[in-house]
């Protein structure tokens, strides 16, 4: 994939990171799932859709709620990983499909809620927003989610700088947090939650490997150099540490006009 407004149009492919994403990016804090429940996502009997689901992290964690959940992503490699994990866990109320969120293969008024985590800036908003509105029931909820590390931690700041050094076009700050202030529908409610997330040197390396700026977009030689330098960078630090993160939720109750 490539988009003119992201990383200067440089191509990236999250399918290349499917294994790493599944192993190292399942890091959303419990606070997220509590807040989703409190605002009306993840209730028994609901029908939910997670677009841009990647390796299916959100549906896997919401599966115990009693809701029927669909996860959709354009990358077949990621959906394969998501299906495999759902099968291992015996989650019969979670279904994954390959598809483009700009063209949702569902009937009108199907879902009580639609979620989009770490992905909404990749969609064509002129196409995806009418599709979300169409498949939501009247009074259904749409939630955008963004989790990012903050740069007030030395490990995070140095890691971030290294990716920027070796992939200068990578601009995560130009996509993620800025997108959360868009008024997709009337009545946006946005909240910011800070949390400390635990890592080891290996899991932090894995988390950075699964970001758009490294394995998804670097050529093989550049990625190998980056990985070597990251291991050198992390060596002086303790085996275990925490990294401060910012969790942003923007939610919308979608009211449909009476036709």
The pLDDT tens digits of the residues spanning 68-82 come to 999 999 999 999 999
Element housing 241 (H / E): strand 240-254
Three-state DSSP at 257 gives coil
Residue 153 lies in a domain: yes
Question: What CATH number did the domain enclosing 37 receive?
Answer: 3.40.50.150
- Burial letters 153-175, b for 16+ CB under 10 A, else e: bebbeebbebbeebbeebbbeeb
- The pLDDT value given to residue 259: 44
Number of domains in the chain: 1
Q: Which domain holds residue 89?
A: 7-254
Residue 164 lies in a domain: yes
Residue 246 lies in a domain: yes
Main-chain dihedrals φ then ψ at residue 137, nearest 5 degrees: -70, 160
Residue 234 lies in a domain: yes
**Segments of the chain with pLDDT less than 50:** 259
Please say whether the beta carbons of 79 and 99 come within 8 A: no
Rounded distance between C-alpha atoms, residue 147 and residue 141, angstroms: 20
- The pLDDT value given to residue 38: 97
Residue 259 lies in a domain: no
């Amino acid at each position: 994939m490539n988009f003119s407004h992201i990383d200067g149009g440089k191509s990236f492919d999250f399918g290349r990171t499917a294994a790493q994403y599944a192993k190292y990016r399942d890091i959303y804090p419990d606070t997220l799932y509590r807040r989703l429940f409190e605002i009306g996502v993840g209730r028994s009997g609901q029908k939910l859709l997670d677009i841009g689901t990647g390796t299916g992290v959100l549906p896997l964690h919401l599966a115990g709620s009693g809701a029927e959940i669909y996860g959709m992503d354009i990358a077949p490699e990621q959906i394969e990983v998501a299906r495999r994990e759902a099968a291992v866990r015996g989650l019969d109320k979670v279904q994954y499909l390959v598809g483009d969120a700009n063209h949702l293969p569902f009937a009108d008024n199907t879902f009580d809620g639609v979620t989009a985590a770490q992905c909404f800036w990749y969609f064509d908003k002129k196409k995806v927003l009418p599709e979300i509105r169409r498949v939501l029931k009247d009074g259904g909820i749409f939630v955008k989610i963004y989790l990012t590390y903050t740069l007030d931690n030395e490990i995070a700041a140095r890691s971030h700088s290294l990716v920027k050094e070796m992939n200068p076009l990578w601009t995560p700050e130009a996509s993620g947090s800025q997108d959360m202030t868009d008024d997709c529908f009337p009545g946006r409610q946005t909240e910011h939650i800070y949390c400390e997330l635990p890592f080891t040197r290996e899991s932090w390396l894995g988390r950075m490997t699964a970001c758009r700026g490294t394995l998804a977009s670097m050529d093989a030689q550049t990625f190998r150099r980056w990985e070597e330098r990251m291991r050198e960078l992390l060596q002086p630090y303790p085996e275990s540490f925490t990294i401060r993160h910012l969790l942003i939720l923007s939610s919308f109750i979608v009211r449909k006009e009476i036709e």
